[in-house]
Amino acid sequence: MIRVAAVGDVHFAADVAGSLRPQLALVHEEADVLLLAGDLTRLGRPEEAEVLAQELADVQVPIIAVLGNHDLHANRDKEIVDVLAAGGVRVLEGEAVRVDVDGYSLGVAGVKGFGVGFPGASASDFGEPEMKAFVATARHAADRLRAALEALDTDRTVALTHYSPVEGTLQGERLEIWPFLGSYLLAEAIDAAGADLAVHGHAHRGTEKGMTPGGVHVRNVAQAVIRSAYRVYCLTDRDGTTC
């Protein structure tokens, strides 16, 4: 069994320093890896990432993350990645990483993703160049996630994104903004490549549990949804259940 702790949308900045550190310092007692599902900073500033890196300093398990839309707001995402990397956090964007846990291997493939909507209410790459570019961004992200998942050869696999791959975990959010919260293309990538669990954030008013059309369990770990420093999921027989 591999235990995966996950949280997203911590929106860190100096004024909340110290709010997570005591709880995160003990994550090794409950989990084998910590996943961060984007929106790690409030306004995408490197100094906010530095505060978060200090918050994560006592964590004794591997930390793997993707960025969120907030982290790109100031166009300084490369600096944020560098700050987090210096603190031991592996930030993925179309890549995958392997973690060995007690004789088992866990593969994590990550991408921020992008919104485009879901069948019956999604954007299409028709018309204006701006719309074509919008959809192309979502498609490129999904393609990179699929390639990263397919490159893995591990006992268990997790797809880590910021945007949601399914509608199920958006229940509670206003229907009008669902196209900006997730993309069916991500679910298609996950189902095509295969995964044991998909984890995302972004939907603060959403629902924790969902499932892809292909049967992969999806968990929305936005902190506003799980209402804790993290939630732990056990990967046993492809169940993605809460430990």
Q: Which domain holds residue 151?
A: 2-242
Instruction: Provide the CATH number for the domain around residue 26.
Output: 3.60.21.10
User: Total structural domains in the chain?
Assistant: 1
> Does residue 6 carry a pLDDT above 80?
yes
Segment 183-206 shows an average pLDDT of 98
Task: Return the minimum-mean-pLDDT range out of 7-11, 121-125, 235-239.
Answer: 235-239
Q: Average pLDDT of 156-176?
A: 97
Average pLDDT over residues 124-131: 92
Per-residue pLDDT at 39:
98
Residue 238, pLDDT above cutoff 70? no
Mean model confidence pLDDT for the chain: 95
Between CA 44 and CA 48 the distance in angstroms is 7
Residue found under tokens 């996630």? 145
Confidence label for 217 from pLDDT (cuts 50, 70 and 90) = very high
The per-residue pLDDT for 237 is 55
- Provide the phi-psi class of 113: left if phi over 0, else alpha when psi is between -120 and 50, else beta: left
Residue 70 has pLDDT above 70, yes or no: yes
Average pLDDT over residues 208-221: 98
Model confidence at 105: pLDDT above 60: yes
* pTM, 2 dp: 0.96
Task: State the average pLDDT over residues 65-72.
Answer: 98
Least confident span in 177-191, 200-214, 227-241: 227-241
How far apart, in whole angstroms, are the C-alpha atoms of residue 126 and residue 68? 26
Question: pLDDT tens, 25-68?
Answer: 899 999 999 999 999 999 999 999 999 999 999 999 999 999 99
pLDDT at 91 over 70: yes
How high is the pLDDT of residue 236? Answer: 82
